[in-house]
Amino acid sequence: MTIRATKRGSQRTPLSAECDVLICGASFAGLSVARELAGIGAKVMVIDRYEIGERQTSACAAPTAWLENLGLGQSILQTFGELVVHTPDQSVRWELPFTFSTFDYRQLCLLLWDQAGDAHFETAKVNRRSANTVETDRGAITSELIVDAMGWRRILDSQPNVQPPDAPMSRGLEVSPAGSREDLELWLDPSYLASGYGWSFPAGGEVRVGLGSFEPRDHVREPTVRLSNTLGLAPDKYQGNWIPHKLRPGAGDEIFYVGDSAGHCLPLSAEGIRTAFYFGLAAGRELRLILEGGQGREQALERYALFSAQHAAKFSIMLGLQQAYPKIPTRLMSKAVRAFGNPKVSRWAFQRYLEIAPPSYALSGPARAEKSPASSAAA
């Protein structure tokens, strides 16, 4: 449920600050970076145009092991060991080698924030950057170490940004009507979208029903409403966004790019939460090493960019599958969906898929400090 808490008008007091690390964006990626910096006594500042957890940015489904390994299990709403896939002529159950869970966005963000030690949060909208100063609607913040975790716009990049529909982006729209369903479901059905898929992700008392189109020019509103109505759910609470489907450099111009700003969302599945966690932890660990005196900024930027780029082959396989998807004749698609009904096939494929950003990575970081009450600005 969206809660409007962001400070407005005169409440938005002028802000001018200097800090050791400035993290722009307080969602999955930015908060994962912040949690890795807890307990080292550094001045870490996190900013976002909204309060932490105020604006849900997705259908909020992720592998359960990622949520549990990050200590976010309390935010889980519903857990699924199978995926029900619908094509125009059949519905097939795919058994998974791991479970997915839907979760409460606000609670998850606040749990992550609790792990961020003495990091300080302010609501501020980032407008631009000049060298190591970030200009916001409340004033300028200066830092030697800056992270862009603000999503697909990649705002801090000095290069002119390509905007949709010309940028390599997919388009997602969903509604979250009150209701309940048992299964995690996907629709691979050209009557909704020729190039994309539909989903229904139950989450406690609501069902998140949406469509993701790989073709940014395609309209998604009408088929989203139609899918929701077909499920007997009156469409409500719309939210949509662009979803990058191409990996971009993880570092450049002295900035660390994490999550959607680096194109870390997986093509084909548009799964971008666990990868935002994964690359967020990786960037946070490089930053931590700088602050502990173990490396310089240039080395950290280089190492993080390399870590991100090492995943390029896997992202490019996923992109190849995404590009092939609309060209697959319906009969062949039905056959492939049936083949995944064989648990041996689905378990093998999904295990490989999970390993692109494995949940074990969450367990390999430094021990973290608890947040002190004074710094829990958003709690």
Ligand X SMILES: Cc1cc2nc3c(=O)[nH]c(=O)nc-3n(C[C@H](O)[C@H](O)[C@H](O)COP(=O)(O)OP(=O)(O)OC[C@H]3O[C@@H](n4cnc5c(N)ncnc54)[C@H](O)[C@@H]3O)c2cc1C
Q: What residue ranges bind ligand X (CB under 6 A)?
A: 24-30, 47-50, 55, 57-62, 125-126, 149-151, 155, 172-174, 210, 240-241, 243, 259-260, 265, 270-273, 276
- Output the residue with the shortest Cβ distance to ligand X: 272
Tell me how far, at minimum, the Cβ of 371 lies from ligand X, in Å: 19
Tell me how far, at minimum, the Cβ of 137 lies from ligand X, in Å: 8
Tell me how far, at minimum, the Cβ of 42 lies from ligand X, in Å: 21
Query: Between residues 8 and 327, which has the closer beta carbon with respect to ligand X?
Result: 8
Query: Between residues 272 and 359, which has the closer beta carbon with respect to ligand X?
Result: 272
What span, in angstroms and rounded, lies between the C-alpha atoms of 340 and 326?
Answer: 18
Query: Between residues 65 and 126, which has the closer beta carbon with respect to ligand X?
Result: 126
C-alpha distance from residue 16 to each of 25, 142, 199, 228, 378 (Å): 18, 8, 44, 46, 19
Closest CA to 279 of 242, 313, 248, 322: 248
Tell me how far, at minimum, the Cβ of 135 lies from ligand X, in Å: 10
Closest CA to 249 of 157, 336, 317, 316: 157
Tell me how far, at minimum, the Cβ of 57 lies from ligand X, in Å: 4
Query: Between residues 307 and 334, which has the closer beta carbon with respect to ligand X?
Result: 307
Rg (CA), the chain: 20
Query: Between residues 59 and 247, which has the closer beta carbon with respect to ligand X?
Result: 59
What span, in angstroms and rounded, lies between the C-alpha atoms of 239 and 330?
Answer: 29
What span, in angstroms and rounded, lies between the C-alpha atoms of 176 and 258?
Answer: 27
CA 14 to chain centre: 30
Tell me how far, at minimum, the Cβ of 372 lies from ligand X, in Å: 23
Query: Between residues 13 and 372, which has the closer beta carbon with respect to ligand X?
Result: 13
Looking at the DSSP bridge assignments, the partners of residue 142 are 18, 133
Contacts of 293 (CB under 8 A, 6+ apart): none
